[in-house]
Amino acid sequence: MTGGNSNSGSDATNTTNYAVSIDKTVEHVIRMVPEFSGGIDEKLVFFINACELVVDITPVANQDIMLRTILNRIKGLAYEVIKYENITSWDMLKTLLKNTYDKPKNAAYLQIELFSAKQRYKETLIEYVNRLRNLVQAVSEGSTQGKSASDALAVQNNIREQALLVFLEGISDRIKVMVKSKNPSTLEQAIQIAIIEDKNITPSEVRSNNHFNNRARGEAQKYNKGNCHICGKYGHYARDCRFKKGNPRNEGNKPSTNRPTANAYLICTYCSKQGHTIDKCYKKKNEDRRRKGESSNSGNGYRPQE
């Protein structure tokens, strides 16, 4: 019994030591993962390769901790790209970063894309800002490679000035005038003004849209009820019409003169006139009386005098 307990204790100790060894290895490798803030493709490749190594040696039970640790290494503009995303796995994060940064585009192509960047349909202001910032960074890095520090700074300042003009023309028309009226001097200043204006205008647009939708829904419901053949209006049937005879709610109400009455829909099959039926046709009644009188006179032997 004593020997068995000794072996069990030894196995537990070895397992604990192994787990500690794995944790230390993962911790050491995580320290080697560089920070990533967006930019040129070489940085993305280096970051992904380092993260892949961490993923491979991390036990399945620690994958969530590993993912949170990697997410904490993402900074700057790259963080702006992912902060609103619900990332649940390394593969999801890797795909998102590749789709954003791993694009084989030269500096000239990126400049064209930057200077023509406009807020897209259904693209939020924050999404447009992040896309524009990424383009500014990519163009700056591609345009300053191999230049001296002073030349690189001049190029970067020029790109930022151009990006400010692009942003002022590219934002949604609903806030463009208001942002321009504040005369922002830098891109970041213009972005902050636009964010404030966008937040102020969005709630009022939602209320306006809700009012319009409710009104349209009410109109649709009114017409779906059908129309009354007594007064000619939509929204109720003849049985509920306030102009109907015998309805106690009709006291003092008269049908509109420009609406057809019930008699307007009656046509006599005898005289073809509107407003009555054959059983109430005066012409037919007169004709019947005349023929009846002629028949009675003929039976009495009456002859008109010549």
Residue 221 in domain: no
User: Does residue 16 form part of some domain?
Assistant: yes
Are 15 and 103 members of one domain? yes
One-letter amino acid at 35 equals E
Domains held by the chain: number = 3
Of these ranges, 90-99, 154-163, 248-257, the one predicted with the greatest mean pLDDT is 154-163
Is 143 a domain residue?
yes
pTM for this structure? 0.40
> Does 48 fall in a domain?
yes
Strand partners, 162: none
Q: Looking at the structure, do residues 120 and 64 belong to the same domain, yes or no?
A: yes
pLDDT in tens, 27-81: 676 677 788 887 655 678 888 888 888 888 888 888 888 888 889 889 887 888 8
Q: What is the distance of C-alpha 250 from the center of its chain? A: 48
- Decide if 297 is inside a domain: no
Assess whether 269 and 255 both reside in one domain: no
Q: Are residues 168 and 36 in the same domain?
A: yes
Is the same domain home to 184 and 280?
A: no
| Domain co-membership, 185 together with 243 | no
Give the domain extent around 269. 263-291
Question: Is the same domain home to 248 and 275?
Answer: no
Other C-beta atoms lying within 10 Å of the C-beta of residue 77: 20
- Residue 168 in this model has a pLDDT that exceeds 90: yes
Pair 26, 66: CB distance under 8 Å: yes
My answer on whether 64 and 124 are in the same domain is: yes
Q: Cα(282)–Cα(27) distance, rounded to whole angstroms?
A: 108
Are residues 53 and 146 located together in one domain of the fold? yes
Q: Same structural domain for residues 116 and 187?
A: yes
Decide if pLDDT at 197 tops 80: yes
pLDDT at position 83: 84
Residues 78 and 175 in one domain: yes
Contact between residue 160 and residue 98 where contact means Cβ atoms under 8 Å apart: no
In a domain, 20, yes or no: yes
Domain match, 167 and 243 both: no
pLDDT at 15: 45
pLDDT band at 167 (very low <50, low <70, confident <90, very high): very high
